[in-house]
Chains A and B, each alone.
Chain A
Amino acid sequence: MATVTFCLVILLSLAIALYSRRGHHHQGSRDFFVASGQFGGVLLFFLAVGETYSIGSVLGFPAGTFSHGTAFIIWFLSYIVLAYPVGYFLNPWIWQAGRDHNAITMADLFRHHFGSRAVEIAMALNAILFLIPFGDLQFTGLLAVLQGFGWPVPTFVITTVAAVTAFFWVALSGIRAPAYVSILKDVMMIVAVVAAGLAALLASGHLPDVRQAGQDIARIRPTGREEAFAMSTVVLQAIGFCVAPQTIAFLFTGRSRRIVRRNQVLMPLYMLMFPFLYWVADYARRSGMPLHAPNDAFMAVSLTLLPGWVDGLVAAACALSALVVLAGICLAIGPLVSHNLLHGLSDRQQRYGAQIVIAVYLLFSIVSAAHASGLMIKFNTMYYFGVTQAAPGIFAILAARAVSPAAVVAGLVAGDLLSMGLYLGDIDLGGVNPGLVGLVANALVLWGGSRLLPSRALVPILHRAGAQAIEAKATKGRSPLEPWTL
């Protein structure tokens, strides 16, 4: 029964992907990658949250809570909840920059604003490098879910079917497919998480109280070093969350700055699923159920406590989480290569070139997931070290008047090398996240370099918008509300 339910949901997702193509049979590259900036509030909301809460959240949060208790919970939840206020003020202006420069990717912002091909290439390569492990991560999570069913299907068949499905979505209608399927995925995921959480909560009432034995999550306390790590990681990742290349690409699908800002108000409420995932981890820990790995906690609790057909829904929700994020990452990486790295391609060539890049990326991720590469795990840990290094450059685009393109590249390289060096060299700075150290170095190099090197005179996005609003005031006689403030 679970298998039937699972297959029905996946078929439904394919039907939705087909529906998303309606009226967009002849897409240009801009429509393919960023939906021509036509998404309203609902689609943009589901695309954003759909891409935020991947299979890593559903499996990873209970696993981390199960293993590391509050030390894990505080940094994991804190950075996400603080990313929304940062995004409330930052994202509308990134959207504005994208609209001003007619951008498809984050690297476009740098090329058009600084007029520098070198900055564009540096930003594109940085984004691609740190996005690579995401595909591997999604396939690994998918295998953890589907292997829980005990299906007699080889793992390479599962990953290949998943990759073909993700490619099919993307090839059908570009960014519209994951956006539309995200609605199904999020509804399913909420249902699955709430069902598993409530079942765990009810079942916990029948468990013996093992708190005296020190087995409950509340007793796993963070050390001082872990607190320093949590506090610095929260700052780094709350910023990184907003400037990640795929997040920026999704912002460009929005119809207006107002929609982008308004959506941020509701997004923290989506996190109310985490108490349910906490109950799952709490049950797994207190019941002492045998697990092959902490990542199995969510599926093991679901399979133990829920009826068979609900298990199918839970597995389908997890699988959709992986596939939607996979499709989103593919659509972020594709144009970074075909649009930014390979200049001079026609609109049609950019679109087909991106599809070839996506196919190669999916193939690489399948092989990587099959071999459980330690290198990929290291790169995944360093994801936020790398993507956050775009932040000083983004802030410069929004607010700085005199910036040296060479300083932007130097800052990026300094930030990457320092944070990766600290991490790979196992150099501990009292628990402070190496990525944050790299980010500070990056900002200092950008600032110092722009003062020493020849800098271009630029009009920051905030001031452009201010000038436009003053012009509007003069012509229409209406008073804008401080448009140059964040």
Chain B
Amino acid sequence: MTTSEQSYPKPADVSVAAAPEPIDAELAAALNELEGGGIGWGETARFAFATLRANPLRTLLTALGVLIGVAAVVALLAIGRGSQESITASITANGANLLTIRSGATNTPGGIRGAVGGAQNLTIADAEALANPEAAPNVALVSPEYMGNAQLVAGANNLNARVTGATANYAAVHNSSLAEGEFISDEHVRTTANVAVLGANVAETLFPDQSAVGQQLRVNGQSFSVIGVLESSGGTGFGSVDDGIIVPLSTAQRKLFGARSLRGSLTMQTVVVQARSAEAVDGALAEVQAVLRAEHRLPSDGSEDDFSVINQQDILETVTETTRMLTLFLAAIAAISLLVGGIGIMNIMLVSVRERTREIGLRKALGAREGDILRQFLFESLALSGVGGLVGLLIGTVIALTLDVTGLFTASLSWDAVLLAFGFALTVGLFFGIAPARSAARLDPIVALRYE
């Protein structure tokens, strides 16, 4: 924008030989008055929208590119976010802030390594040590778990299923809730009771037409009473317990599977530890390692652990990162179609400038400044991308919600994704509107008025 100094010279600079009047204060005031005023933003926007309304089909087709792009970005971001949330939910459905400790590999002097868990060197004593709040203050709950497979028979029905030997802590650690009956109690564990809690699918298979609680079933030939049925955790998600049964830990170790004894204490494959909070997970991990190394009498010289700890948060982060990358990748592809939509806008705006050359010439003759014309055409391309963006948001939202309702995908809309897509659409409209608007603004009115 020119300042008043630049727009006209001071009296000393004027060298007009035959000027009837010299430039004086009165003239300067007149010129200042001329510089003021000009068309407002509202009027400029009104001109732009009037043009778009005058040719609705062209407006629609031009906005379509941006519309599809925005709809795709919104729908894909919603689906990506929804998938991420549903995966996260299914992981944390089995309990939050968990550390899963498994027996380490067998280390032989020959350097031959067995499979992880092959050593079976986690014991009841280890679990009790981990539950000691003085040794491991960040550990809230400890759930020692013995896993085995067994043939289940109830009347004419039978199936092979996973049998988990657990303590009363299992339900709290894994967020298990009961559909009916009760869970394994400390008393059951202490008395090595032949009681079982059934997963939802197992209950359905073995006792299809009746309540399972109170019924008898045979596990590897031994008779067990059903004391409870777990609520379905939904589908066959990660670590689902729907397809297994839970018995007291001592019963699994002694009666069903004959667990090995180590240092005078029975072993199991897995101990699941719940930290007090998400922040306490790292502290709990260090405590678990320290306690178990002491229990296993490993030297504190940095030698390898004979157990492994899987941090649930690590898994969560990995999964989150993976789905996030996938979502961004898909959104980037959708964004490319937005860009193509922008080129469509530029194309139509260039055609429009050519078609309306005489109108532009007229507007300039009537007193439109370069900036006025520039703004009018920028508004048009912005309005095209803005309208396309808004309708695209709507359609993208509908697509996401429809997919969510039909159960094909889990979709989760978020404001930041919506604003991102709309903001990007406006940016595209602005960017691709600049070149046509400049060419319109720079037209020479004399040439433009004569343009045929």
| B and A form one assembly | no
Q: Which residues of A are at the interface with B, using a C-beta cutoff of 8 A?
A: none
- What is the interface of chain B, defined by CB distance below 8 A to chain A? none
